[in-house]
Amino acid sequence: NFPNLTNLNGSSVLVSGGPTAAFPGVASYINTTTLNNQTRTLQASGAGRTLDLRNVQTITNGLSYYAQLDVNAMSGGVVDLRGLTQISDPTGGDTRGRAIDLTADGSGSTLNVSSLTTYTDVYAGATSSDPLYSTVTAKNSGAIRSGALTTLQGVHVVLNGTGTLGLAGIQA
C-alpha cells in the first residue's frame, strides 16, 4: 500500500506479483506525455491481484500525438476505480491518434468504474489518415462494472459474447 502517494500522473502501474497495490491518496490521473507515441498502462493481472485506485475521480489523456492510456484487468485481476466519474480526452494539444482504452479480459477479471458517467474521445472517427478510437472491451468472461454510464462519445464498445458491460444508462 502507498497511503502517502498523491500523484501518479504519467506513470504506469502494473500489479502482477503481489496481491494488492492501493493508492488511497490519488484523486485524479493525467496521462502526462512529453513525447509523441507514448503509452501508459494501469493494470492488474492474475487471480487475486488488485490495483486499488478507488479514490480517483477523473482520468484525463495526454496532449501529445498518439498519447495512449490502457486500463486493464487481465487473467482474473481487478482494477478498482469505483470513484471515477469522468474519462476525457482534452481538446488541446495534438488530438490525432489519442485514445484511452478500458479492458476486462479473462474469467474473474473485473474493471470497476461503477460511478463513471462520462467517457469522451474528442478525435475519434476523424477522417484524417490516422483515426483512432478509444475502446471499452469486455471479453473472455471479463466484467466492466459501468452501471452509471450515461455519456459515451467517440468510444467503440467491444464485446465478444462472453464479457459483461453495463450500458443500460446510455442515452442516444
3-state SS record for 30-74 = ECCCCCCCCEEEEEEECCCCEEECCCCCEEECCCCCCCEEEEEEE
Task: Give me the pLDDT at residue 97, please.
Answer: 87
Angle among Cα 8, 72, 85 to the nearest 5 degrees reads 65
| Farthest-apart Cα atoms in the chain, separation | 44
Burial per residue of 42-51, b for 16 or more beta-carbon CB atoms within 10 angstroms, e otherwise: bbbbbeebbb
145 three-state secondary structure: strand
**Residues lower than pLDDT 70 in the chain:** 125-131, 171-172
Whole-prediction pTM value? 0.94
**pLDDT for residue 159:** 83
Report helix, strand or coil for 118: strand
CA gap 105, 120 in Å, rounded: 22
User: Would you state the cell numbers that stand for residue 120, as one nine-digit string?
Assistant: 469522451
Cα 164 to Cα 105: distance, rounded to the nearest angstrom? 10
The Cα–Cα gap between 104 and 43 comes to: 10
DSSP per residue, 90-105? -SSS--TT-EEEEEEE
